[in-house]
Amino acid sequence: MTQQITAVSALASFLHKAKSRGQTVGFVPTMGALHEGHLAIVRKARQENNLTVVSIYVNERQFNNSEDFLKYPRHEESDLSLLQGEGVDIVYFPQTAELFTQENLPINFSLNGLDVLLEGASRPGHFKGVVEVVHALFMHVQPTKAYFGLKDFQQVAVLRKMVKELQLPVELVAVPTVRAENGLALSSRNQRLSEEQRQEALILFKTLCFLKEHYQKTPHNELLAQAKANIHSSSLKLDYLEIVDPETLISLNEHHPQALACVAAFCGEVRLIDNMLLIAQ
Ligand code: PAF
């Protein structure tokens, strides 16, 4: 049966008992408004652990735009029933007052520039907010493994860096992006799109496929320019489209054996992101 927990003391005592029986804990942090992408992550966590904890917390610290925070979809009831349907053991609703305390101050360390590229450049402070909340949640849950979706590729890179730098005893597991049948990457933000906008937003997936298809055969800069022109000719407002090294996330200016295309664009008021590896690994 799924337990709903809001107090960190209740969470700690439940998990302490489980861990002392040798049980492993898989943790899936979320901001709610769950979709199939989240559920794929939850299923993986369930397969690999004795217990699964999912947290739901819309983290104001990672929004650089207060309107975006206010408009972020919130569906606690339906989220809960989806998680019950998946057989999740604990749904944790952290309380802001318990996340950051005198004993557990927001973590502060250098991400060596990983946080100022791509999303970090467009959303100053975003990754600081992500790292602060995920670190606080890790302190509460102390999971064996924690699961994140690759749609937020840079988030995974930033969190891997955090785990390594702070030598946290948790294994991060990255789960592939889940797409709608037409290719649109699933995102909680899609709930704010009209039917027409969902069709228009497909230009992002199509452009990533175009880059992947032509990457080997077309000169780098020419290809990138064509891809950008594709998006500019749509109704979306391009924020960035870059081909980067998937390890460092630094922009590439020429062909590279490992390359990742990352895109962000506004569809109406809604900011969407997506990415695709250009060379099969
Ligand atoms: O990916 C998300 O939903 C959020 O960034 C996360 C990891 C739950 C932190 O608030």
Catalytic status, residue 38? yes
pLDDT in tens, 74-111: 999 999 999 999 999 999 999 999 999 888 889 988 99
CA distance 180 to 157: 24
The CATH architecture to which 3-175 belongs is 3-Layer(aba) Sandwich (3.40)
Q: Which residues contact 259 (CB under 8 A, 6 or more apart)?
A: 215, 243, 244, 245, 246, 252, 277, 278, 279
pLDDT in tens, 197-220: 999 999 999 999 999 999 999 999
Question: Where along the chain do its domains lie?
Answer: 3-175, 188-275
pLDDT in tens, 222-251: 999 999 999 999 999 999 999 999 999 999
Angle at 201 between CA 200 and CA 203, to 5 degrees: 85
pLDDT above 70: residue 160: yes
pLDDT in tens, 46-77: 999 999 999 999 999 999 889 999 999 999 99
Q: Which CATH class is domain 188-275?
A: alpha beta
Q: Residue 281: which pLDDT band, with cuts at 50, 70 and 90? A: very low
Q: Which of 38, 126, 135, 140 is catalytic?
A: 38
CA distance 243 to 228: 11
Residue 10 Cα to ligand 1 middle (Å)? 22
Question: Model-level pTM?
Answer: 0.96
pLDDT above 70: residue 280: no
CA distance 20 to 34: 31
Ligand 1 pocket test, pick from 53, 155, 172 with the greatest ligand atom count within 8 Å of Cβ, gives 155
